[in-house]
C-alpha cells in the first residue's frame, strides 16, 4: 500500500440533494407505523407517473430489481437475444444474462457515447427480442432510427432510465419511450430515496403483473394465495415519503445541473486535448454526469485527485470485457466503445455545487492538459 496520504476531497463527484424536508417526511412516515408500502409509496408513484407521462409507476427496491422485473414481464429468457450498448452500467447487461438471454453488444457513437443506431440495426436477427436502452449519463439516445428499426423487426424497447429521469426528447420524457421503462433512486442519482427504483409502463396488464411480482406473486385481496412466481421487490414507506419530496425538487435540480453543465461546456469548448459529448439537437439531457474525453485519462484523474477533486470513469471497460464468469467472452472489440472507455472521465456535477467549484475543476483540467505534451 502506498504510504503517500491522499489530500481530502474538496469537490466530490456527487452529493445527494437531501436535507431537512426529506428527514421530516421520513420521520412522519415512520410515525404513521406503516413502514412498508404505504400511501407515501403510492403518492411517489403518482408523482413519477405525472412527470414522465406514464400510465403506471410501480416502485421497487432498486433500479436493478426494476430491470429484473422488466425482463420477467416480457418473458425474456434462453434463446432470446437482447441488444445493449457496450458502454453502460453493468446492471443494464446483468439483467439480460440473469434472465438466461444473450446480450448482443452494440458499438457507440464516439460523439455522443450513446449507442450507434446503424450498428444496432445491423445486429438485429430473428432471435432479437428486446433492446435495453440506457441513455448514457442522461444524454438522450438517438431514438427515431432505433424505434423504427425495432418496430420493423418486432423488437421491444425497455428503457433503463436510471440516469435519465429528467431527460426529454422534445416534450417526451426518456422514460416514456418503449413498452417499459425503469429507473433508479440510488443515492448517486438525480433524485434519491437512498435505494429505490421504479418500473413504468402504459400497459395495464404489464403494470398489474409488475405489482404482483413485487409482492411475491400474491393475488390481490387473497392473502397467502399466489399465482405467479413473484419475489420481494418492495420499498419502504419512508423511502416513498422521501421520494415525494424529491419529486417536488426534480425540475429545479435538473435546472441547476444544466447551469453547471453549460458552464463546463463553455469552458471546455476549444480547450485543446479535451472533448465533450454533445447532446442531440431537440433533446434535453438530465445531466446525470459530466463526461469529458482526454488521451491521458488516468493521468488527469490522478492530477484532479491530488487537487482534492473526485472523479469517476463511466465506464473504464466495455461491459463485454468484464470478467464475469456468466458472460460469454466472445465479443470482438468494438472500436468506438474501446476508445471511449479508455478516454472518458466524469468530473463532479451535482446541483449544490457552486460556479466557483466548476471554475476550480476546469482550471485543474486546463493546467493538466496544457502541461501534457
Ligand X SMILES: Cc1ncc(COP(=O)(O)O)c(C=O)c1O
Least distance CB 308 / ligand X (angstroms)? 24
Candidates 146-154, 155-163, 236-244, 303-311; binding stretch for ligand X (CB under 6 A) = 155-163
Q: Please, what is the angle between helix 90-98 and helix 63-73, to 10°?
A: 40
Identified binder of ligand X from the candidate list 39, 42, 102, 186, rule CB under 6 A: 186
Q: Which residues 111-140 are close enough to bind ligand X by CB under 6 A?
A: 134
Of all residues in the chain, what percent are helix, strand and coil, respectively (each to 5)?
A: 40, 15, 45
Please give the residues from 196 up to 235 whose contact with ligand X meets the rule CB under 6 A: 197
Any contact of residue 289 with ligand X (CB under 6 A)? no
DSSP SS3 for 75:
coil
Q: Which range in 138-146, 156-164, 289-297, 360-368 contacts ligand X by CB under 6 A?
A: 156-164
Torsion, Cα 122 124 130 136, to 10 degrees, reads: -10
Q: Which stretch binds ligand X (CB under 6 A): 58-66, 232-240, 249-257, 352-360?
A: 58-66
Do residues 180 and 74 touch, judged by C-beta distance below 8 A?
yes
Burial 34-52 (b: 16+ CB within 10 A, else e): eeebbebbeebbebbbebb
> If binding is defined by CB under 6 A, does position 88 make contact with ligand X?
yes
Per-residue cell: 49? 407517473
Cell of 364: 485543474
Cα angle at 184 between 182 and 189, to 5 degrees?
Answer: 140
Decide if residue 94 touches ligand X (CB under 6 A): no
Q: How far apart are the first and last CA of the chain?
A: 30
One residue of 87, 101, 146, 162 binding ligand X per CB under 6 A: 162
- Report, in Å, the least distance between residue 16 CB and ligand X: 13
**Which of 40, 62, 85, 239 lies at the binding interface for ligand X (CB under 6 A)?**
62
Only segment of 60-68, 123-131, 218-226, 256-264 that touches ligand X (CB under 6 A): 60-68
**Residue ranges that bind ligand X, judged by CB under 6 A:** 62-64, 88-89, 91-92, 134, 160, 162-163, 184, 186, 197
Amino acid at each position: 500500500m502506498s504510504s503517500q496520504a491522499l489530500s481530502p476531497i474538496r469537490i466530490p463527484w456527487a452529493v445527494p440533494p437531501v436535507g431537512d424536508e426529506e428527514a421530516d417526511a421520513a420521520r412522519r412516515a415512520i410515525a404513521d407505523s406503516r413502514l412498508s408500502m404505504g400511501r407515501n409509496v403510492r403518492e411517489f408513484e403518482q408523482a413519477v407517473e405525472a412527470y414522465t407521462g406514464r400510465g403506471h409507476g410501480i416502485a421497487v427496491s432498486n433500479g436493478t430489481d426494476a430491470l429484473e422485473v422488466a425482463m420477467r414481464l416480457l418473458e425474456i429468457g434462453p434463446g432470446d437475444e437482447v441488444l445493449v450498448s457496450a458502454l453502460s452500467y453493468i446492471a443494464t447487461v446483468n439483467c439480460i444474462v440473469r434472465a438466461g438471454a444473450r446480450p448482443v453488444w452494440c458499438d457507440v457513437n464516439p460523439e455522443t457515447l450513446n449507442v450507434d443506431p446503424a450498428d444496432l440495426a445491423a445486429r438485429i436477427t430473428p432471435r432479437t427480442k428486446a433492446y435495453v436502452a440506457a441513455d448514457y449519463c442522461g444524454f438522450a439516445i438517438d431514438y427515431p432510427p432505433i424505434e423504427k428499426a425495432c418496430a420493423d423487426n418486432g423488437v421491444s424497447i425497455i428503457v433503463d432510465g436510471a440516469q435519465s429521469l429528467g431527460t426529454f426528447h422534445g416534450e417526451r420524457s426518456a422514460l416514456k419511450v418503449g413498452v417499459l421503462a425503469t429507473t433508479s433512486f440510488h443515492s448517486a442519482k438525480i433524485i434519491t430515496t437512498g435505494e429505490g427504483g421504479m418500473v413504468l409502463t402504459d400497459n395495464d396488464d404489464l403494470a398489474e403483473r409488475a405489482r404482483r411480482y413485487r409482492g411475491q406473486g400474491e393475488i390481490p385481496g387473497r392473502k397467502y394465495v399466489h399465482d405467479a412466481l413473484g419475489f420481494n421487490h418492495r420499498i419502504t414507506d419512508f423511502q416513498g415519503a422521501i421520494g415525494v419530496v424529491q419529486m417536488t425538487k426534480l425540475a429545479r435540480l435538473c435546472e441547476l445541473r444544466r447551469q453547471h453543465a453549460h458552464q463546463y461546456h463553455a469552458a471546455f469548448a476549444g480547450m485543446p486535448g479535451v472533448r465533450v459529448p454533445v447532446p442531440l439537437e431537440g433533446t434535453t439531457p438530465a445531466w446525470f454526469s459530466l463526461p469529458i474525453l482526454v488521451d491521458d485519462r488516468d493521468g488527469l484523474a490522478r492530477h484532479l485527485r491530488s487537487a482534492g477533486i473526485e472523479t469517476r470513469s463511466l465506464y473504464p471497460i466495455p461491459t463485454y470485457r468484464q470478467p464475469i464468469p456468466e458472460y460469454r467472452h466472445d465479443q470482438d472489440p468494438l472500436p468506438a466503445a474501446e476508445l471511449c472507455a479508455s478516454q472518458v472521465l466524469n468530473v463532479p456535477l451535482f446541483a449544490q455545487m457552486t460556479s466557483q467549484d466548476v471554475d476550480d475543476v476546469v482550471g485543474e483540467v486546463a493546467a493538466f492538459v496544457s502541461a501534457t505534451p
